Structure 1
Amino acid sequence: MKSASIVIPTYNRPAELEACLRSILGQSVAPLEVIVVDDGNLAQVPLAPDFETRGIRLVLHRKDRPGLTESRNVGATLARGDVILYLDDDTVLFADYVEQLLAVYEHRDVGGVGGIIDNPKPMRLPHHIRYLYDLVFLNRGLREGRVLPSGFCTDFGTTWFPVRETREADFVDGGVSSFRREIFADMRFTERYREFGLGEDKDFSIRVARRYGLAVTPNARLLHHESPKMRPDKRLWGRKFVLGRYLFFRDHVRTKWWSWLAFAWALAGYLLARTIIAALSLRRDEFRRVAGILGAARDIALGRISLSKADNREDGA
């Protein structure tokens, strides 16, 4: 079986990080190494003596330039294993998570494999209604892990049809992703999403899918205990979500003139949905999100997002 390097970007969440590391120590197949890339003030990696006892190399890398994208790229540079597994610092792995991911590489010639979050938010009546709405506006589809003609994506754990078997996918989520280390010789997570939008994991994984193949397996599962820390500004979040979808659509989905109609239809549906939610909840942060969406839509319509496709660098320079 191939060797695994686990890369964990972290920022001032030592308790969550310790729970993640403890679950790594309990793996049925131990990784070769764990690389913690710190943007905060972590004095030392929790459970370091336990990793030494298990013979698992433990690396703490501190960097000056913050950001998840940079952390993922730095981690790939430091890794020695055949396969690089990316984890969020607030995840807890099932005991066979590493084993199940690596097993897919033994049977499929793919560049990357994604796992599944086992504790998504449950779908109640309002979520079912929203799902039907999203189907109409091309915000979501029927098959998880697929990209729609609108440039919007059908995320995992958000439909009536969860992944039941290992299969091909257009993208995987960054916090449950893994990739062959060799592909990083000429590919990197793009820095462009740092400033303009969200979704650098989808951008990277769809490039891997089209060049090397990509799979998702329900056999590799983890829990995501979303930390209450670092809650984003909703206005900025709304803006970056829309701009991220726009950049993704333009680089990877757009084909003919009618593609723009699909994107515009999906964007209008998303804006309407968030406006209704804000009106019903009367929450200030939801109105801020709507303001961010409107600002992003305005900038797209006025051509203020002028980055070329060439800016989406795939090389290691």
Structure 2
Amino acid sequence: MAQPTGTTVLTLEPAMPSAEPPAWSRAAWVGAVDRPVALAADAVELAGAEGFRRARLLVRDGREVAGFVDVAVDPDGAVDPAELGPVLRALPATRLPAGPVGQPNGPDRRLTVVIATRERPRSLERALRSVLASDHDDLEVVVVDNAPTSSRTRDVVVAVQDPRVRYVLEARPGVSRARNAGLALASGDVVAFVDDDVVVDRGWARAIAAAYERDDDVWCVTGLVPSGELRSPTQRSFDERVTWARNLERRVYRTSSPPVDEPLFPFAVGSYGTGANMSVRRAPVQALGGFDVALGPGTRSRAGEDPDLFTRVLLAGGALAVEPSAVVWHEHRSDRQALRSQAIGYGTGLGAWVTKLVLHPRTLAAVLRRAPGALRRLGGLGQAADERPVDAVGGWPVDDEFVRATRGLRRVELVAALGGPWRYIVERIAGR
């Protein structure tokens, strides 16, 4: 829509551009906005917003994340300033964390980014190009091709033609083996891991490096993983169910000062983040043995490798930092069958990881002390009474299509968790 002469128009780009139309009447356009810039604009337009009635915006003050807002989108793909302005002002003020942040482009320490992938060339290329577009000066990327059945992953790396990218073959299946292969070859002091179904924010690497500069005892940094698409009910369901999609609080966890608001600490699944956006200080994590190859996608355990590493870092005396300004956008599964499979994987991985904790004398006592609270939380997975979630920002309503997409998923996850122990034991025996 043409704007009057002299009007300041801000055009926002989608987090994950797509030529596909929204598959749901309540789908939301997803992107990010800088609050001071938006408040100074006369109009805000959304690129590629055809067919969308709502938008979810990640709001930032420069590089600091303030929160999320959900707003209406008009037929021309614009947001009403009369609605946007008040919700932007209602979000809390942000401030830069204390401590050194290095040069204008962030600390110049070398960062190695490892992308473990298997036969998903289209997603890989998108993720790889977003990493290479990072504003961090000293960057290398290791693409680990895990148990491939074709040359498609190698073809993507060759086509990108960037000297910062290395291709590595890991013939044995399992994301933990693939990540360990990347960790072993990394030249950076800090090694970051992202999945192949994400798009990395331009300032992501700089935010990670700054977090390590602030605290010398930090061995692991995780970031924010917001939904990059909300085109279908299943994507919205996944967004509602995972804590790391909206984890906006900057925190540093240490066993020397246990958080009073985390009764399950250091076994606080979900509070620390996810393997789709995590990084480690290379030397101490290599000394820990890296990722457990009996856990994670590609094994019978199906998941659990990231909470396992988080917990081992903490128990070994390292600190774990949650850094919301390190943003990667995640492409959630768009159909119910894929969502169900993901729930089974998470449940199985949870059961497998808990089994590992119980089988080790050092962690058994700690697990038993927290067992009552853990059992209450685990039992909640099987309850269906609260499967009509209300959006945390703006009360975005759900509909019958959404309810059908989410029905029974918590029970599926619980049943899968009960099968995790024997899967972990069989995987561990097979690995030996």
Among 344, 347, 354, which residue is 1:246 paired with? Answer: 354
Distance 1:37 1:265, change over 3 A: same
Q: Does 1:119 align with 2:227?
A: yes
The normalised TM-score by structure 2 is 0.53
Paired position in structure 2 for 1:271? 382
How far, CA to CA, are the matches of 1:200 and 1:271 in structure 2?
A: 23
Query: What secondary structure is seen at the aligned counterpart in 2 of 1:255?
Result: helix
Q: Identity of aligned pairs, percent?
A: 23
Once the two structures are TM-superposed, the CA of residue 50 in structure 1 deviates from its matched residue by 5.2
Matched, 1:73 2:180: yes
* Alignment match, 1:38: 145
Question: Measured at CA, do residues 45 and 105 of structure 1 come closer, stay the same or move farther in structure 2, by a change above 3 Å?
Answer: farther
Alpha-carbon separation, structure 2, partners of 1:33 and 1:241: 30
- Equivalent of residue 100 in structure 1, options 203, 207, 212: 207
| Aligned CA distance change for structure 1 residues 118 and 297 (closer, same or farther; 3 Å) | closer
How far apart, CA to CA, are the structure 2 residues paired with 1:240 and 1:67?
Answer: 15
Pairing 1:207–2:295 present? no
The letter of the residue matching 1:237 is: G
Shift of 1:235: 8.0
Q: 1:192 aligns with which of 294, 303, 307?
A: 294
- Deviation for aligned residue 1:67: 1.3
- Between the aligned partners of 1:306 and 1:212, the Cα distance in structure 2 is 26
Structure 1 residue 178: deviation in Å? 0.6
Q: Deviations over 1:147-169 (max 9, x none)?
A: xxxxxxx83235xxx42435447
What is aligned with 1:224? 330
Q: Tell me the SS of whatever aligns to 1:261.
A: helix
Q: Output the CA distance in 1 between the equivalents of 2:141 and 2:345.
A: 30
Q: In the alignment, what sits opposite 1:173?
A: 274
Deviation at 1:186, TM superposition (A): 1.6
Higher strand share: 2
Q: Secondary structure at the match of 1:95?
A: coil
**CA shift digits 1:6-63 (9 cap, x unpaired):** 10011111111111111122111144321111123243353646553xx42x211122
Do structure 1's residue 64 and structure 2's residue 166 form an aligned pair? no
* Pairing partner for 1:261 from 341, 363, 372: 372
Question: Which aligned segments of 4 or more residues in structure 1 are displaced greater than 4 angstroms?
Answer: 47-51, 227-230, 251-254, 274-277, 280-283, 285-289, 304-307
Structure 2 residue matching 1:195: 3-state secondary structure: coil
Q: Decide which of 91, 105, 109 is 1:2's aligned counterpart.
A: 109
The 1:176–1:258 alpha-carbon spacing in structure 2 relative to 1, beyond 3 Å, is closer
3-state SS in 2 of match to 1:205: helix
1:297 alignment partner in structure 2: 418
- Paired with 2:158 and 2:194, the residues of 1 have a C-alpha distance of 18
Query: Highest Rg: 1 or 2?
Result: 2
CA distance in 2, matches of 1:256, 1:9: 31
Contact 2:198 2:330 in 1 (8 A): yes
The structure, 1 or 2, with the larger RCO (C-alpha pairs under 8 Å, 6+ apart) is 1
Cα distance change of structure 1 residues 42 and 274 upon mapping to structure 2, 3 Å threshold: farther
Q: Distance in 1 between matches of 2:414 and 2:140?
A: 41
Q: Deviations over 1:222-273 (max 9, x none)?
A: 2112355993736843650441463366465853755332232222221223
Query: Partners of 1:118 and 1:235 in 2: how far apart?
Result: 18
Consecutive unaligned residues in structure 1, runs of 5 or more:
132-139, 141-153, 312-316
Which residue identity does 2:307 align to in structure 1? Answer: K
Quick check: 1:197–1:242 contact (8 Å CA) kept in 2?
no
SS in structure 2 at match of 1:35? strand
CA contact (8 A) 1:90 1:227 kept: no
Q: What displacement does 1:66 show?
A: 1.2
Q: Hey, what's the Cα distance between the residues in 1 that align with 2:280 and 2:313?
A: 9
One-letter code of the match for 1:34? V
On the 8 A contact 1:20/1:90 being kept in 2, the answer is: yes
TM-score where L is the length of structure 1: 0.70
Q: How many Å separate the matches in 1 of 2:191 and 2:305?
A: 17
CA–CA separation in structure 2 for the residues paired with 1:203 and 1:51: 35
User: Residue 198 of structure 2 contacts residue 329 of structure 2 at CA under 8 Å; is this kept in 1?
Assistant: yes
| d(CA) in 2 for partners of 1:306, 1:176 | 24
The aligned residue for residue 91 of structure 1 is 198
Spell out, residue by residue over 1:186-215, the C-alpha distance to the aligned partner (whole angstroms, 9 max, x if none): 222112323335221011022113322111
Relative distance call for 1:156 and 1:254 in structure 2 (3 A) is farther
Structure 2, unmatched stretches of 5+, are 1-107, 255-265, 267-271, 389-401
